[in-house]
């Protein structure tokens, strides 16, 4: 993304509203059908002023360590898994005004950055699970699709 204009401000506002309404702690533009490298993250789910992080064109500068914790996803409602994620990440990108920002994150924030950057790279947390767990989840998803049962 190269233009930092009113369209970007509108996109970010829409993404934040969608994320909070879900409710979720992160959202990537491709999740709402917009093929841009934009993510929003707020671990407080809108409860803490100043907790919202918006990054345009995020990229990893460093990744180290390993952690495994349960993750869910607004793109795969009702399903969770424990993908392997880095314990610590450094992410650089631009804020909505086009200024460079660098974030050092651990724990949940590191996982959220990884999760959302995966989305803009065309991946879901499911892609990071072991083959056995991924196959089990696919079977459950197919069953839900066949029965049209999404009330979980």
Domain 6-147: CATH class, spelled out: alpha beta
Question: What b-and-e string marks burial along 48-70, b requiring 16 or more CB atoms within 10 Å of the CB?
Answer: eeeebbbbbebeeeebeeebeee
- Report the first-to-last Cα separation within the chain, whole angstroms: 36
Give the span between the Cα atoms of 8 and 96, in whole angstroms.
7
Residues 65-114: tens digit of each pLDDT: 999 999 999 888 888 899 999 999 999 999 999 999 999 999 999 999 99
Question: Structural domain boundaries of the chain?
Answer: 6-147
Show the CA angle centred on residue 99, arms to residues 73 and 43, nearest 5°. 30
Residues 16-72: tens digit of each pLDDT: 999 999 999 999 999 999 999 999 999 999 899 999 999 999 999 999 999 999 999
Q: Output the DSSP codes for 84-96.
A: EE-SEEEEEEE-T
Give the span between the Cα atoms of 45 and 26, in whole angstroms.
9
- Could you list the active site residues? 116
């Amino acid at each position: 993304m190269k233009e930092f204009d009113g369209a970007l401000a509108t996109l970010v506002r829409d993404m934040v509203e969608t994320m909070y309404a879900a409710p979720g702690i992160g959202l990537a533009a491709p999740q709402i059908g917009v093929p841009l490298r934009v993510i929003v993250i707020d671990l407080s789910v809108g409860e803490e002023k100043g907790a919202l992080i918006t990054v345009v064109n995020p990229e990893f500068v460093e990744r180290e360590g390993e952690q495994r914790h349960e993750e869910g996803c607004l793109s795969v409602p009702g399903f969770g898994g424990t993908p392997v994620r880095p314990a610590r990440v450094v992410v650089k990108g631009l804020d909505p005004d086009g200024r460079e920002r660098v974030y050092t994150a651990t724990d949940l924030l590191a996982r959220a950055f990884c999760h959302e950057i995966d989305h803009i790279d065309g991946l879901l947390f499911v892609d990071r699970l072991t083959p056995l767990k991924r196959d089990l989840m696919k079977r459950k998803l197919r069953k839900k699709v066949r029965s049209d049962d999404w009330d979980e």
